[in-house]
A and B are shown apart, each in its own frame.
Chain A
Amino acid sequence: GENVEQHPSTLSVQEGDSAVIKCTYSDSASNYFPWYKQELGKRPQLIIDIRSNVGEKKDQRIAVTLNKTAKHFSLHITETQPEDSAVYFCAATLVTSGTYKYIFGTGTRLKVLA
């Protein structure tokens, strides 16, 4: 079935360094790829997204890249800060045979060490 694989499951970086989280999706029909940040005890919130007709998108210190051929997309956070510590989820939407699903990755716990 359709799935989204996310790596790594945990990531520790020093403050100021960059962090990269990678996801792979299985169904070539997927066309929307959001990233959500979930702080401890809070709800997930969208931080950036990309659609299948775009290869890269940036918003200040965060960026997302998409390689449709390889079915990979990645989240890049530069100049990490302690407040970036959270769990990050990638997702892919799937529209096929009249269904409209969201498939999430299993999450990456990012720790930014001061």
Chain B
Amino acid sequence: EAQVTQNPRYLITVTGKKLTVTCSQNMNHEYMSWYRQDPGLGLRQIYYSMNVEVTDKGDVPEGYKVSRKEKRNFPLILESPSPNQTSLYFCASSLSWQTGELFFGEGSRLTVL
């Protein structure tokens, strides 16, 4: 089954404790990206990757890191989480930038205390 898989789905952590949210797709997609969803603010792009080893900042990259060492994986790293990073996070992928349609993962709800 074609899918985008995120883990963990739910996480409660404390300020400053490094965490990684994994994202994996099995569709051989080139383009992958991360979004955070907050009430009233919609979906905001954090980082994106055009292909392996090619990443760039979205609109709200502060406090986040990413890597794209393999085509299928695009982990989101919070080196020192803060309460303002409490949010619902979505990973998404598309075949390429040109094809457009994003396939989203199920989301990861993160709470930072």
Q: List residues of A whose CB falls within 8 A of some B CB.
A: 1, 6, 9, 32, 34, 36, 42-46, 49, 51, 89, 91, 93, 95, 98-107
Contacts and interface: CB of A to CB of B under 8 A. Distances in A.
Contacts of B79: none
Nearest to B48: A100
Most interface-central of A9, A51, A102, A106 (chain B CB within 10 A): A102
Interface stretch (B12-20, B69-77, B98-106): B98-106
Nearest to A2: B59
Chain B, interface residues (CB within 8 Å), range = 20 to 34
Closest 7 CB pairs of A and B: A106-B42, A43-B104, A104-B43, A104-B42, A46-B101, A107-B42, A32-B100
Contacts of B48: 100-102
B67 interface: no
Contact of B42 (A49, A89, A100): A89
Interface in B38-54: 40-45, 48, 50
10 contacts: A32-B100, A43-B104, A43-B105, A49-B101, A51-B100, A89-B42, A91-B43, A93-B97, A104-B43, A106-B40
B104 A103 contact: no
